[in-house]
Structure 1
Amino acid sequence: WLGTAAAMVGLVSGAWWLGTTGAVEQRFTQLFEPAQTIVEPVRLDSLSLFDAGSAELKPGSTKILISALVDIKAQPGWLIVIGGHTDGRGNPQDNLLLSHARASAVRDWMQRMGDIPGSCFAVQGFAASQPVTSNDSESGRAANRRVEISLLPQAGACGQETLGERPAQA
C-alpha cells in the first residue's frame, strides 16, 4: 500500500522544516522537483508504535513497520521523510522533542532492519502544529498522535553512504 501511496510532505511543512535545518535545506532544494505529484503520506498510529509519552518502539510495532519497510524497499533511492506528530495536550516544547524522537526511532529501526543508508532519510518533529482533526475529543487527539512516512520520488535522492554513517542532525 505504501508503494501506491508514495508521498511527500506538504510544501508548508517542508518550508518550516527547511527553515530550521541549514545543510538539509540545500540538499532538499537540490532534490525537490516541483513537477512531482503530491500524494497523501502514510499515517501510522503512534499508540500502535509507542507507549504514551515514550519514543521507544513497542515490541508489537514490528509487524506495522515491516509492512511499511517492504514497500519502501521497493522504491530504492527515494528520499524517505518521516514526520512525528502529537496531540495538543502538554508542554509544546516537550511535544516537539517527543515527536522528533518518535520519528527518529522509526528511522533508526528502518535503517537498521532495512539496511537503508542514513542519507535516504529526513526526520521531522511537528508536535501539534499539523493536526488532522480537532483535539477536542479523545478520538481526535488519538488521530493527531501519529508518525507519517512520505517518499520523495527522485531517483538517486540517496547518496552512497554506508549503513554506519549518518548525516549531522539539526
Structure 2
Amino acid sequence: MLLWQKLLAQQVAAAVAYRYWRIYVTLTDAGGGSGGVQINEVELRATVGGPDLTSPSTPSLASSTLAPGYGPTQMVNNFLLGAPWASTGTPSTGSPEWARFDLGTPQVVREVALHPSGKPDEEGSSIGSVIYAPRNFIIQGANDGTNFTDVKAFTGQTAWSNTAFRSFAL
C-alpha cells in the first residue's frame, strides 16, 4: 500500500458516527461587537459534495433565538429566501452560541455546508447580514445530545457571500 493510500485509510477510519451534530460558534465576522449569529441554511453531508442529511423535519435546538420565526429550524427548512436562525447573544469563547441537529440515528458527517444570512427575500429586502456569519466555530458530535466531542475547529472564516454556501470538510 502506498503512503497516500495509508493516510486516506486512516482518515476514513477516524470518522465517527454521531446522532447529534452541533455548530458551536465563538466569534462572528462582526468581531466582538454586538449582534448574534445568523445562519440561513445548514447542510450536513455524509460525503463531500453529497446530499444533505437534514430535512425540514430534522429536530433542532439552539442556545438562543432572537424572536419567533428566527429559530434553528430555519437552518434546515431548505428555503434560502426566508429568515435565518438568529441568536440573541454575541458569541465568545466563554459564552458561545450554538445550534444542534438530531439526525435520529448515528451518522458519519464528512462535510458541513453553511449559507450565511443576508440573502434578499422575495421582495428584494435583505434579511440579516453576512457580518453575523461564523468566523470561529467548532463542529461537534454526540450520541446523547449533551456530551459533545469536537470533530473539527475552523478559525478566521471571513469574506462570506450571501449568494453561496461555503463547505467545510471534516
Q: TM-score, normalised by structure 2?
A: 0.29
Q: TM-score, normalised by structure 1?
A: 0.29
Rg larger in structure: 2
| Larger relative helix fraction | 1
| Larger relative strand fraction | 2
